[in-house]
């Protein structure tokens, strides 16, 4: 090993939206050591257990290194890039010509922490006339986006929480300890727990690690969060716990919702939640006493029963108590480039579902294909996503993919979705190109980090911008070569003059607006130092932000530059700050200006959700005798991450992805800890290894996120690793407004697995265990 091999290289974690800075050592195409980057301005050296194992993302057996085309018999053959892209372009054009541009769709657009390619692919499809875009964001967060849009003025008015200065932190429907979610997450929990002036409330059916740190744990019945939030609002009203000055100064609609809250039968709703009334009173007292409160709500309520209503009531809880717009509360943050859009009433042609934040919910994706209607989706590109495993109703999702006339998958690995594709295009990994994340959720100082490549691209792979640029050219979506070359030369000599010429081209020919990112990539991008062409998509974002938030940008950069010069300085600073950089520093009064409503006031009254609140009745929310268990699908655990990771070596202690349930339930079932349980829902069933866990309420069970993948052993045999949880979910078990699936509250029956089911489970587990042990 040479001295060069011992150099620590800067990068960032790609496994949650905190995206903490890392330093790594490498050997060949592999990451060998990982530590936190102390120079990173936000994470400052923090490292969690997931980032420590980041090497498994880069190094695994199922990396793709050649385009693949499906044969008639269903197997794949390697083809050249020229052949694959030529045939894909021909088929896209033919399908669009025969059935209209809305027959074309796009799913994904950047995996976790891998966002540079999304803008290229999405905009290329828009240039073709496509309007149907899907992503995991829409599966998880549509209710939150919809509510924020109505209350704050636009759906990308995204709220952030300012935990460090809060004296009360509520954790609702998630685990900060396991999911992280923000830099220094575990440090914040420890500090808050050890500080007598700070308090923690956890609301969760599971006694999580967070609950062990908490001053109060409300271990409610699963799926009753809506009732608890409503009851807490009613008790706060009864005790004059609302901040009337804040309400009068900063909101509109209080008179319209006051009677809705007043009518809530708090005692009956708390009884339905099965938590002691006095504990809820204690929580309300803690909220009233707090000077500054934050509420961290996560997928436990955003993908649970009444998910959109949960988001609304959660917002009301911190807004009506005045916990917004000051240190230690909630805020609206700036964006360098928004991660999602702001939709204004568009609907799909087949199901009529609502577009929210520029996206349609994946829960309705199969229905847009599995229909005889002429307007159905017929060709789809899936980019850095694995909906065959992650979308609700695996059986229907797979059937939909098989029914397409064209399915193209762009990914780093042979996922379950790729196995269904007509063409698979191998992408360079996140660590083989310039990359970034758009999860920039901080306030008052916000940060951006363009990660430098750690390795040369794996031979045979291409970056997403390369793929879409080549494809766009074959689709006839780009200007002539001489126009591209003239712009490239101008960009190399005079960037401000290039900006004018580029803008003039967009005005002269509207056809190129959709492929503007690709044109930028081929012109200005090719002039950037160190091969940073893919990051050029940030150039217009930097200029827009510098024009819109000049003072905040100037403060972050410590500069007096103005206008286009400020935009250029911001872009160069972001490109050349290898540990990331601040891009805005705001004052708290700026928050009101960042709202989307012209009067800079928050809307409290949302009639559709108020009507829903008025219909809530515990009598309508009872246990199904045929499916008496509630199973939470997709629980975050110590080692699970996402549906991109393939190698089982990632989680050596949790290979099986166990079904966790209370020991008393195991006894009632006549099952054993470590034995095999069959989980049955009205949609399907699966068998999972049981694990006794007394932190769960009786009647409640959990299955983890990120399992169910097929993996090849040394002999080529494909083995499924852990439970494929969406075999249990039905696409129509979802939120009535946003179609968000109720993954966290799935009704099920549990039984001891048959001898045959148990033998199959044990055989697969032993094979994977033997392979991992041998590999180590």
pLDDT tens readout for residues 95-142: 999 999 999 999 998 876 788 889 999 999 999 999 999 999 999 999
Cβ–Cβ < 8 Å for 478, 518: yes
Cβ–Cβ < 8 Å for 464, 426: no
List pLDDT tens digits, range 176-234.
887 767 777 888 888 888 888 999 999 999 999 999 999 999 999 999 999 999 999 99
CA angle 252, 353, 624 (to 5 degrees): 90
Q: Tokens standing for 130?
A: 């496509």
Residue 85: inside a domain: yes
The pLDDT score that the predictor gives to residue 774 is 66
List pLDDT tens digits, range 330-355.
999 999 999 999 998 899 999 999 99
Residue owning tokens 């018999």: 73
Sign of CA dihedral 374, 375, 376, 381: positive
Residue owning tokens 């991109």: 644
Strand partners, 206: 696
Residue 345: inside a domain: no
Average pLDDT of the chain is 93
Residues 223 and 258 in one domain: yes
- CA-to-CA dists, residue 433 to 461, 506, 674, 743, angstroms: 11, 28, 43, 34
Cβ–Cβ < 8 Å for 624, 169: no
List for the chain the helix, strand, coil content (%; round to 5). 40, 20, 40
Using CA atoms, how far apart are residues 576 and 571, in angstroms rounded to an integer? Answer: 9
Residue owning tokens 């707090």: 290
Residues 127 and 245 in one domain: no
Using CA atoms, how far apart are residues 428 and 168, in angstroms rounded to an integer? Answer: 44
Buried b (16+ CB within 10 A) or exposed e, 274-300: ebeeebbeebbebbbebebbbbbbbbb
Residues 99 and 207 in one domain: no
Q: Give CA 493 to chain center in angstroms.
A: 40
Using CA atoms, how far apart are residues 205 and 208, in angstroms rounded to an integer? Answer: 9
Using CA atoms, how far apart are residues 656 and 652, in angstroms rounded to an integer? Answer: 9
User: Residue 259: which H helix or E strand, with range?
Assistant: helix 254-262
> Which residue, among 641, 699, 708, has the nearest Cα to 665 in the 3D structure?
699
Parent domain of 226: 161-332
Cβ–Cβ < 8 Å for 359, 372: no
Residue 745: inside a domain: yes
CATH code of the domain containing 145: 3.40.50.740
The pLDDT score that the predictor gives to residue 180 is 67
CATH code of the domain containing 42: 2.20.25.90
Using CA atoms, how far apart are residues 21 and 12, in angstroms rounded to an integer? Answer: 4
Residue 37: inside a domain: yes
Is 25's pLDDT higher than 80?
yes
Residue 496: inside a domain: no
> 649 falls in which pLDDT band (50, 70, 90)?
confident
CATH code of the domain containing 188: 3.40.228.10
Is 2's pLDDT higher than 60?
no
Residues 318 and 209 in one domain: yes
Cβ–Cβ < 8 Å for 517, 119: yes
The pLDDT score that the predictor gives to residue 1 is 44
Is 473's pLDDT higher than 70?
yes
Residues 16 and 112 in one domain: no
Sheet with 406-411, edge to edge strand ranges: 76-78, 68-70, 423-426, 406-411, 379-383, 104-108, 132-134
Beta strands of 162-273 (E only): which ranges? 168-172, 199-203, 216-218, 251-252
Residues 299 and 235 in one domain: yes
Structural domain ending residue among the three candidates 58, 89, 104: 58
Residues 168 and 308 in one domain: yes
Residues 27 and 38 in one domain: yes
Using CA atoms, how far apart are residues 180 and 161, in angstroms rounded to an integer? Answer: 14
Beta strands of 636-684 (E only): which ranges? 659-661, 676-680
Cβ–Cβ < 8 Å for 407, 416: no
Residues 639 and 771 in one domain: yes
Residues 227 and 297 in one domain: yes
Q: Tokens standing for 148?
A: 């924020």
Cβ–Cβ < 8 Å for 58, 31: yes
Residues 228 and 249 in one domain: yes
Cβ–Cβ < 8 Å for 596, 152: yes
Residues 226 and 149 in one domain: no
- For the entire predicted model, the pTM comes to 0.96
CATH code of the domain containing 763: 2.40.40.20
List pLDDT tens digits, range 247-281.
999 999 999 999 999 999 999 999 999 999 999 99
160-164, 308-312, 325-329, 443-447: least confidently modelled range: 160-164
Structural domain ending residue among the three candidates 11, 31, 58: 58
Using CA atoms, how far apart are residues 710 and 450, in angstroms rounded to an integer? Answer: 32
Residue 500: inside a domain: no
Structurally, the chain folds into a number of domains equal to 4
> Which residue, among 715, 714, 689, 717, has the nearest Cα to 704 in the 3D structure?
689
Using CA atoms, how far apart are residues 229 and 613, in angstroms rounded to an integer? Answer: 11
List pLDDT tens digits, range 308-323.
999 999 999 999 999 9
The pLDDT score that the predictor gives to residue 7 is 87
């Amino acid at each position: 090993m040479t001295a060069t091999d011992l150099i620590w290289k800067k990068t960032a974690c790609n496994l949650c939206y905190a995206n903490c800075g890392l330093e790594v050592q490498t050997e060949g195409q592999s990451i060998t050591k990982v530590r936190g980057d102390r120079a990173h301005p936000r994470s400052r050296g923090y490292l969690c257990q997931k980032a420590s194992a980041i090497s498994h993302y880069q190094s695994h057996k199922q990396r793709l290194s050649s385009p693949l085309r499906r044969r008639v018999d269903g197997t794949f053959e390697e083809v050249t890039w020229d052949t694959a892209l030529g045939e894909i372009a021909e088929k896209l054009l033919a399908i669009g010509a025969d059935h209209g541009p809305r027959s074309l769709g796009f799913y994904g657009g950047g995996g976790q922490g891998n966002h540079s390619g999304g803008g290229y692919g999405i905009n290329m499809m828009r240039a073709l006339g496509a309007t149907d875009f899907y992503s995991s964001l829409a599966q998880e967060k549509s209710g939150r986006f919809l509510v924020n849009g109505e209350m704050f003025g636009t759906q990308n008015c995204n709220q952030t929480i300012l935990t460090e200065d809060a004296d009360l932190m509520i954790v609702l429907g998630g685990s900060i300890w396991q999911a992280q979610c923000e830099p220094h997450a575990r440090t914040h929990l420890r500090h808050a727990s050890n500080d007598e002036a700070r308090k923690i409330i956890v609301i969760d059916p599971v006694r999580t690690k967070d609950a062990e740190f908490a001053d109060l744990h409300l271990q409610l019945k699963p799926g009753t969060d809506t009732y608890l939030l409503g009851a807490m609002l009613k008790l706060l009203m009864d005790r004059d716990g609302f901040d009337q000055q804040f309400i009068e100064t900063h909101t509109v609609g209080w008179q319209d919702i006051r009677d809705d809250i007043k009518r809530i039968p708090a005692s009956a709703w708390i009884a339905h939640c099965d938590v002691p009334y006095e504990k809820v009173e204690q929580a309300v007292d803690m909220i009233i006493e707090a000077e500054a409160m934050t509420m961290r709500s996560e997928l436990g309520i955003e993908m649970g029963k009444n998910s959109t209503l949960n988001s609304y009531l959660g917002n009301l809880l911190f807004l009506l108590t005045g916990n917004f717009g000051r240190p230690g509360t909630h805020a609206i943050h700036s964006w360098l480039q928004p991660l999602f859009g702001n939709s204004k009433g568009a609907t799909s042609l087949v199901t009529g579902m609502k577009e929210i934040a520029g996206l349609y919910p994946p829960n309705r994706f199969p229905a847009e294909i599995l229909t005889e209607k002429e307007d159905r989706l017929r060709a789809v590109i899936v980019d850095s996503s694995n909906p065959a495993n992650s979308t609700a109703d695996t059986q229907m999702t797979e059937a939909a993919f098989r029914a397409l006339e064209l399915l193209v998958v762009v990914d780093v690995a042979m996922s379950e979705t790729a196995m269904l594709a007509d063409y698979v295009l191998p992408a360079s990994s996140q660590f083989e190109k310039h990359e970034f994340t758009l999860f920039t959720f901080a306030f008052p100082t916000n940060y951006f980090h363009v990660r430098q490549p750690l390795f040369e691209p794996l031979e045979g792979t291409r970056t997403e911008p390369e793929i879409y640029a080549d494809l766009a050219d074959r689709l006839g979506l780009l200007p002539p070569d001489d126009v591209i070359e003239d712009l490239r030369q101008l960009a190399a000599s005079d960037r401000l003059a290039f900006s004018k010429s580029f803008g003039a081209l967009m005005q002269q020919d509207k056809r190129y607006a959709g492929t503007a990112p690709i044109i930028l990539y081929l012109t200005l991008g090719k002039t950037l130092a160190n091969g940073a062409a893919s990051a050029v998509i940030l150039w217009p974002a930097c200029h827009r932000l510098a024009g819109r938030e000049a003072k905040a940008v100037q403060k972050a950069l410590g500069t007096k530059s103005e206008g286009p010069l400020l935009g250029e300085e911001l872009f160069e600073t972001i490109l050349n700050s290898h540990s990331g950089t601040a891009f805005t520093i705001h004052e708290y009064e700026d928050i009101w200006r960042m709202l989307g409503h012209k009067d800079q006031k928050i809307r409290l009254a949302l009639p559709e959700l108020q009507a829903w609140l008025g219909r809530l009745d515990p009598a309508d929310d009872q246990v199904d005798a045929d499916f008496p268990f509630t199973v939470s699908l997709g629980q975050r655990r110590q080692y699970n991450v996402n549906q991109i990771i393939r190698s089982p070596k990632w989680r050596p202690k949790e290979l099986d992805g166990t079904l966790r349930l209370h020991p008393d339930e195991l006894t009632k079932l006549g099952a054993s800890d470590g034995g095999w349980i069959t989980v049955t829902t009205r949609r399907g069933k699966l068998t999972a290894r049981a694990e006794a866990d007394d932190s769960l309420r009786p009647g409640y069970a959990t299955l983890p996120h990120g399992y169910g993948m097929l993996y090849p052993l040394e002999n080529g045999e494909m083995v499924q690793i852990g439970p494929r949880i969406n075999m249990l979910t039905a696409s129509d078990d979802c939120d009535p407004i946003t179609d968000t699936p109720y993954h966290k509250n799935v009704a099920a029956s549990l039984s001891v697995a048959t001898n045959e089911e148990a033998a199959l489970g044990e055989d697969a587990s032993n094979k994977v265990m033997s392979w991992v042990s041998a590999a180590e």
